[in-house]
A and B are shown apart, each in its own frame.
Chain A
Amino acid sequence: MKEVTTASFEQDVLNADKPVLVDFWAAWCGPCRAVSPILEQIDGETEKLDVVKVNVDQEPDLAMRYNITSIPAMKLFQGGQVVKELIGARPKPAIEQELAAFL
């Protein structure tokens, strides 16, 4: 999964051709570590969307811009807009169900 920074966010997420699921995470967040391999799998299994991650410790500006107050937070961007939001670690089928329209 690609690591996105404040500098690359516009290009990698806002101006991307396809929908991008952004995983806001941190190393000290246990549930983030649990959900990360699931997102990795989803990223590898579909061509229809990209999954990237933002480390909130290193990119506090991005976390603040998108009002992150709870992680893991997964936001789906399409055409530069947030079109879907998932908060908290969930099993793979539950995440896939939420993203069904985009997979």
Chain B
Amino acid sequence: MHDLIIIGSGPAGFTAAIYAARANLKPIVLASSVEMGGDLMTTTDVENFPGFPEGIQGPDLMFAMQQQAERFGADVRMQDVTELELDGEVKRVHVGDEVLEARAVIFATGSAYRKLGIDGEERLSGHGVSWCATCDGFFFKQKQLIVVGGGDSAMEEANFLTKFADKVTIVHRSESFRASQVMLDRSKLNEKIEFLMNTVVESIEGDAQVKAVTLRDTVSGSTWQMPVDGVFVAIGSDPRTHLVHDKLMLTAEGTIAVDGRTSRTSVQGVFAAGDVIDPTYRQAVTAAASGTVAALDAEHYLTAHAVPVLVTSPEEAAL
């Protein structure tokens, strides 16, 4: 029986692991087999994580967090959780055929990229439709691309893609941006980036490779085709709750509901942290802070629900 299992290995999961390991809880971190490190693993320059005046590469930051957690005794496993049993004092975490037991669980699974849900998207995924500029931008040298979205990630992808592409058009459904001013300014100053506002992608065309997109002006309603070689989708993400959606209370936004400023979920002994509880901020720093809250809450819970140590045998007590 373990004290604490942490599910997830982004900034929330690893920060929770650092705190819990320093509190001697010997946490197990189920980091996933192929998504270890979370979203930052596909990010290049992270310029807003305090302590790195020159910025730091996303994967470098995550490997550093992992090492920091392991240094204090966290047991990081590249495994995928397949099922959870959260009721009762003992939580059971299934990892394939193996079942791990713990007295407390921190759920920090982050979010998954949102899809456009349009014709051609699924079929041409990996053939010109991509969610990862840092992985796939390389293959679009001297090409024409669109980036769909209006947030920081869309701006970052667009700027990154101009290292390779001749032209990148940011297609955004409204007139206002969620992106921060610094990211927006950088895109506007980039000569290779153009903007198409009040425009949505209706469908993606091409047989074996992306050839064009059909666009619609949301004001006039007119549609037209634009020839492109690639479509990068950056329209945000949804909390990844598929393992717990019928076990923990969720909010109207689809995030896991927690009690006030704490990380306590609707089930005792289960705590949640990071993007999976955050419909608003979703930054590496806020996720890390949230991981801290969860580790402290879990530590407090484990102390309050300590397994009683028998000082006298039952026979002696009966006398």
Chain A residues in the interface with B (C-beta under 8 A): 26, 28-35, 37-38, 56-57, 63, 67-71, 73, 87-93
Contacts and interface: CB of A to CB of B under 8 A. Distances in A.
Nearest to A86: B126
Interface string B46-76: 0000000000001100000000000000000
A28 B125 CA distance: 20
B134 interface: yes
B36 interface: yes
B209 to A, nearest CB: 7
25 contacts: A29-B135, A30-B41, A30-B42, A31-B34, A31-B41, A34-B33, A34-B34, A34-B41, A56-B138, A67-B208, A69-B126, A69-B128, A69-B136, A69-B140, A69-B209, A70-B125, A70-B139, A73-B126, A87-B125, A87-B126, A88-B126, A89-B34, A90-B34, A91-B34, A93-B96
Contacts of A28: 134, 138
Given A29-B135, A30-B37, A38-B34, A67 B42 contact: no
Interface of B: 32-37, 41-42, 58-59, 78, 80, 96, 125-128, 130, 132, 134-136, 138-140, 208-209, 230
Contacts of A89: 34-35
Contacts, number: 70
Contact of B136 (A37, A57, A70): A70
